[in-house]
Structure 1
Amino acid sequence: MDRVTASGRRSHHPLCAVGAVLIGSFLVGFQTRLFSIGLADLKGHFSLSFDEGAWLSTAANAPQILIAPAVVWLAVTFGVRRILCLPSLIFALICIIIPFVRDFETLLVLHVLQALLLGLFIPATIIVILRNLPQPWWLPALAIYAFRSAFTSNFGVSLVGSYVQNLGWEWLYWQGTILAPIMGLFAYFGAPDEPVSRDALTRADWGGMILLGSGLALVYVGLDQGNRLDWSSSGIVMATLAGGLALIVAFFINESVIAEPWASARVIMSRNLILLFATTTLFLLSSQSNSLLLPNFLTVVAALRPEQMGPLFVNYVAIPLFVLTIIAVLLLRRIDARIVLAMGLTAFACAALLGTTLTQQWRLVDFEVLALLQAIGHAFTFISIIVFTFANVDRTKAVAAAAYIQVLRLGSAELGLALLSTWLRIREQIHSHYLGQHVASGDPAVVKRLAQLKAHFAPDFTGAAAKRSLSALATTIQKEAYTLAYIDGFWLSFWAAIGALLLVAMMKAAQPGPFTPTPSPRHGGDAANRNRRAS
């Protein structure tokens, strides 16, 4: 048995340790997506108002970012086994209990605890992979980690429909009771039982971890509630955003003055990493065309439920991801990650451009090409970002770099969601106003359309045909306003992808290393010379 004292390194069953963190990443992805898509059903079953549902959503997500940046440090200090085994059992117990609770305050507390535990399960994945697998397996394992993000987001749509319609809405929570103990079992047999690092504890930057985690959590709350409470009109939103930003500024001041900073900003202060982090933010905004625009249009305008739209996301995104991820790995072994990243962003730009031709009449079959382009974008982009990040990071500073990666993973995604949600709301209001100006009482076209609708409803609604025709016309106008707003959303997604492509064009080649492509024997010398000149 090969035991080493440093946390996460090779143990007697290193593959089990890697399996544990990968299962954890899938668990987080599924649990978060199922809650998001199934929230409408959950509000009904828990008898929650719209506002209560919104706060429950925040409680189920914000605590993840409170703890996520510090998890890699926790894994190094306390060991992977301690941060996964017992928490996995507590998580499973909470998942069993939640469906039986009807008190709103208790629901909030349980969802906060659940989110804190979810925040533990995913951030250590990359470090555990790098410390437990031989170098040739790093890229495939990281590809699986990247794959789970898009896969769980798209497969989760169909899964919500299956659970609600066939097994019962409770399985939106109870699936965690199966995956979490399996993860804990893998961690128990895969990670070594090692002592707590007393040296790391005595040198811990507790102030930095508390300032960053709490600051990000407050910003997350502000972003999550901002669209609903109308941003500057809400004292809660302004207070959480201002307080969170103040704590983040205090964090950077703390890291610059203490002797042993936990996550010094100097780790990411390089041209490539700054450009890459900005690219990641734009990518996460552009990728909302898949996770937000597409399912929301099918729900709001096409009036489809998750089980009806699920086959589109499974057949044209989730399943193709298996093949596309393998292709991405093969490409990254042979060509620069920047090229693969540009290919993925181009696919997102093409998908968004296709989305700008949207009409009310579009149905599932019309979205097939668009969804397939989004699958290509997901498969090529995220794994390229991970690979290029670690190709530009000093591996001795991996713990600090991992903290910022978690900030990007959760913070940028929520920023993109908040921005796009607000954009859709404002554009829908504008389009409703302008469309309404062209629908005036007595207008010949309006009178003609109402007469057609009245004749259509007359056989079934003899006494209410006039009211039904007015309602149908109003619904048509509202759907058109939503359709135009989603077109504007696709335009925003398109320009975000174009902006990201411009940033990629400004990046320099990474120094040769384990995360750069291996040149072929015939062209190895030329490739190495090109890398040195580009650097």
Structure 2
Amino acid sequence: MNAAAPAPRMKLLLATILVLNFIEFLQTGMMSFGASAIQGQVNASPEEYSIVTAAYAAVAIAVIANMRWFIERLGWRKFIHGSIVIYIAGAVICALSETFPQFLLGRLVMALGGGAFMTSARMLVNVIPPTPARMKGILAFVTGLTIANAAGAWTVAELFEADWFAGIFIVLITLALLAALLAAFGAPDEPLPESEHSASHFGPLLAVAAGSFLLLFAFQRALYDFYSSLPYLLVLGAAGLAAVLWFVRHQHDSERPLLMLKRLVQKRYLAALGVFTLAYVVLGANNVMLPSLMQRAMGFSWHSAGMVQSIGLTSAFFIFIVKIRILKVSPAPQKFYAASFAFLAISGWLLSGLTTEASLWRNVLPAIAFFGMFVVVVQATTAIHGFAELAHDEVAFMHGQQVKNMLVQFGSALGIVGATLLQQWRTAEHLSVLNQRFATGDPELGHLLEQLTGAFSASQGAQAGAVALGQLAQLLNQQAALLSQLEYFHMLALMSAVMAVVMYFQRTITLFKPA
């Protein structure tokens, strides 16, 4: 299954790895940064959009769990081509969608086809023999990740500036067709002998997909209906957890499992899963919070916010090059873990002190750059050290990647859902306080209303009061949104600073020990 690719096909294989991973992170960036505009396009509320995120993650988790089963029977090339056909079909549905149900259907079909793109890209690296040449595959993988993560915000901002919603999916379809062309000449195409095939597990796959969705849905509803629907939410959460645990138990006990979990019970690997999941929860949450901060709370345009976020996230590529150079002379992971969480703490601290008068370029751009550095340093360090005990077992390594990316999908969706609903909740709370101050005759707000009325009286005449009141309401909404953002980034800075200190002084963590 992992036979070496002939030398003439190596560049095409590397390009396939890069493009598949590029698609995964570009679509994630576009769906997160463009969330509010997409909601308006398909008439979806933030709550409904978070359901799309949860449903996509649940389907992707099942697809990742089952991908080796398909590759064993089809080979890499046919598997990639089949996935791309389904992915394009889903993208077409999304491009033509005008309602929430249509968009949800399209995203589910896209998940069926593209849910395993990142896992496929990573495992294609192992097609390259375990020589220094394999580093080229790692570089292709990371290049696709870092560039796409940076490009997502700018791309979707430009498309919505041009009022071209379907353009999001036209871009993804074009890239998918490119990946199919590259895979036709660069990916291996040898299925495994029937004696090495794993068994089909349709029931367990449904269980892990349904369980993942129920867990995310229960979390989503808890932020809306915690007090009024607590028993209902507990039942949903318990049912989801039971379904996932049954899948784990079934795979652990099966003689021909989809995922050989027994081989993955390694302390180093299990610790890596926790770090990866945490990193992707933060990535998902920040992908929601950053555009909201720049657009809704600070009042900047789509174009400006997208450009600043994309430029800031290019720091990930450059810090990865620096990390590779340091790694050659000092491979110990402790300093990288401490530095990554220090980067995140600095990012959160810079953003937690913003005001509505802050500059995107002077105040926000450096914070986003530090966030980009956190993402790539923590992921690269964990990928190198977390899989060290599985490196010489091809099957265990692939299954480890599958399980890791299943948790990545769950963690990213959890971050997006949590941030979306946390933001909505805290903004409403702050707005309620501000409105109460206005209703009870707060002299500062009353004075501001008088000033606005006077400013509009010359141009609006008798309507000056109503226009001033509308302007004040807009200012109060902006202030409430900003306060909710600052709360989140204060919390992020504190958590990250604690993690940086723990990582620096803790010498007993499994990931710090030599393999």
Whether the TM-score (by the shorter chain) exceeds 0.5 is: yes
Task: Verify: 1:275 aligned to 2:274, yes or no.
Answer: no
CA distance in structure 2 between the partners assigned to 1:481 and 1:349 by the alignment: 23
Equivalence for 1:10: 5
Taking a change above 3 Å as real, the CA distance of residues 200 and 505 of structure 1, as seen in their structure-2 partners, is farther
Equivalence for 1:380: 377
Q: Is the 8 A contact 1:65 1:217 kept in 2?
A: no
Equivalence for 2:327: 332
Task: Verify: 1:70 aligned to 2:70, yes or no.
Answer: no
> Which residue of the other structure, out of 143, 148, 152, is the alignment partner of 1:152?
148
**Matched pairs, number:** 509
Taking a change above 3 Å as real, the CA distance of residues 178 and 462 of structure 1, as seen in their structure-2 partners, is same
Mapping 1:338-487, distance limit 5 Å: 338-365=334-361, 366-393=363-390, 395-396=392-393, 397-487=396-486
**Letter in structure 1 aligned against 2:319:** L
Q: Is the 8 A contact 2:150 2:312 kept in 1?
A: no
> Which residue of the other structure, out of 61, 76, 81, is the alignment partner of 1:80?
76
Where structure 2 has 5 or more consecutive residues not aligned to the other structure, the ranges are none
Q: Is the 8 A contact 1:8 1:80 kept in 2?
A: no
Q: Is the 8 A contact 1:158 1:310 kept in 2?
A: yes
Task: Verify: 1:323 aligned to 2:318, yes or no.
Answer: yes
Q: How far did residue 437 of structure 1 move?
A: 4.9
CA distance in structure 1 between the partners assigned to 2:495 and 2:74 by the alignment: 40
Equivalence for 2:132: 136
CA distance in structure 2 between the partners assigned to 1:51 and 1:276 by the alignment: 31
Equivalence for 2:495: 496
CA distance in structure 2 between the partners assigned to 1:208 and 1:29 by the alignment: 28
Equivalence for 1:526: none
**Letter in structure 2 aligned against 1:368:** L
CA distance in structure 1 between the partners assigned to 2:46 and 2:428 by the alignment: 20
Q: Is the 8 A contact 1:69 1:406 kept in 2?
A: no
Q: How far did residue 48 of structure 1 move?
A: 5.4
CA distance in structure 1 between the partners assigned to 2:224 and 2:3 by the alignment: 42
CA distance in structure 1 between the partners assigned to 2:408 and 2:123 by the alignment: 15
**Letter in structure 1 aligned against 2:172:** G
Q: Is the 8 A contact 2:213 2:240 kept in 1?
A: yes
Taking a change above 3 Å as real, the CA distance of residues 232 and 145 of structure 1, as seen in their structure-2 partners, is farther
Q: How far did residue 221 of structure 1 move?
A: 4.5
Q: Is the 8 A contact 1:279 1:503 kept in 2?
A: no
Q: How far did residue 122 of structure 1 move?
A: 2.0
CA distance in structure 1 between the partners assigned to 2:375 and 2:167 by the alignment: 27
Taking a change above 3 Å as real, the CA distance of residues 334 and 215 of structure 1, as seen in their structure-2 partners, is farther
CA distance in structure 2 between the partners assigned to 1:47 and 1:415 by the alignment: 23
* Identical positions, percent: 17
Where structure 1 has 5 or more consecutive residues not aligned to the other structure, the ranges are 1-5, 517-530
Q: How far did residue 503 of structure 1 move?
A: 5.3
Q: How far did residue 156 of structure 1 move?
A: 1.2
CA distance in structure 2 between the partners assigned to 1:250 and 1:357 by the alignment: 46
Q: How far did residue 130 of structure 1 move?
A: 2.1
CA distance in structure 2 between the partners assigned to 1:49 and 1:163 by the alignment: 21
Q: How far did residue 34 of structure 1 move?
A: 2.1
Q: How far did residue 58 of structure 1 move?
A: 4.7
Taking a change above 3 Å as real, the CA distance of residues 145 and 214 of structure 1, as seen in their structure-2 partners, is farther
RMSD: 3.3
What does the per-residue CA deviation read over 1:87-116, in whole Å, with 9 as the maximum and x for residues that have no partner?
324433543454345576554333321221
Taking a change above 3 Å as real, the CA distance of residues 229 and 331 of structure 1, as seen in their structure-2 partners, is farther
CA distance in structure 1 between the partners assigned to 2:163 and 2:3 by the alignment: 38
Q: How far did residue 392 of structure 1 move?
A: 3.7
**Letter in structure 1 aligned against 2:480:** A
CA distance in structure 2 between the partners assigned to 1:337 and 1:174 by the alignment: 41
CA distance in structure 2 between the partners assigned to 1:271 and 1:207 by the alignment: 29
CA distance in structure 1 between the partners assigned to 2:24 and 2:221 by the alignment: 22
CA distance in structure 1 between the partners assigned to 2:12 and 2:228 by the alignment: 49
What does the per-residue CA deviation read over 1:266-320, in whole Å, with 9 as the maximum and x for residues that have no partner?
44434333333323333334445642222111121123343221221232222x3
CA distance in structure 2 between the partners assigned to 1:509 and 1:10 by the alignment: 37
- What SS does structure 1 have at the residue aligned with 2:489? helix
**Letter in structure 1 aligned against 2:185:** F
Q: How far did residue 505 of structure 1 move?
A: 5.0
CA distance in structure 1 between the partners assigned to 2:439 and 2:100 by the alignment: 45
Q: How far did residue 351 of structure 1 move?
A: 0.9
CA distance in structure 2 between the partners assigned to 1:337 and 1:71 by the alignment: 31
What does the per-residue CA deviation read over 1:164-190, in whole Å, with 9 as the maximum and x for residues that have no partner?
334832211111222112211222212
What does the per-residue CA deviation read over 1:321-376, in whole Å, with 9 as the maximum and x for residues that have no partner?
33222112222333223322321221011111122212222231221221221222
Mapping 1:34-73, distance limit 5 Å: 34-46=30-42, 55-73=51-69
- What SS does structure 1 have at the residue aligned with 2:63? helix
**Letter in structure 2 aligned against 1:495:** L
**Letter in structure 2 aligned against 1:323:** F
TM-score (ref. length: structure 2): 0.86
- What SS does structure 2 have at the residue aligned with 1:395? coil
TM-score (ref. length: structure 1): 0.83
- Higher mean displacement: 230-239 or 204-213: 230-239
**Letter in structure 2 aligned against 1:124:** S
**Letter in structure 1 aligned against 2:118:** I
Taking a change above 3 Å as real, the CA distance of residues 499 and 67 of structure 1, as seen in their structure-2 partners, is farther
Taking a change above 3 Å as real, the CA distance of residues 384 and 169 of structure 1, as seen in their structure-2 partners, is same
Q: Is the 8 A contact 1:356 1:491 kept in 2?
A: yes
**Letter in structure 2 aligned against 1:361:** E
CA distance in structure 1 between the partners assigned to 2:267 and 2:57 by the alignment: 32
Q: Is the 8 A contact 2:72 2:191 kept in 1?
A: no
- Higher mean displacement: 406-415 or 103-112: 103-112
Q: How far did residue 139 of structure 1 move?
A: 4.1
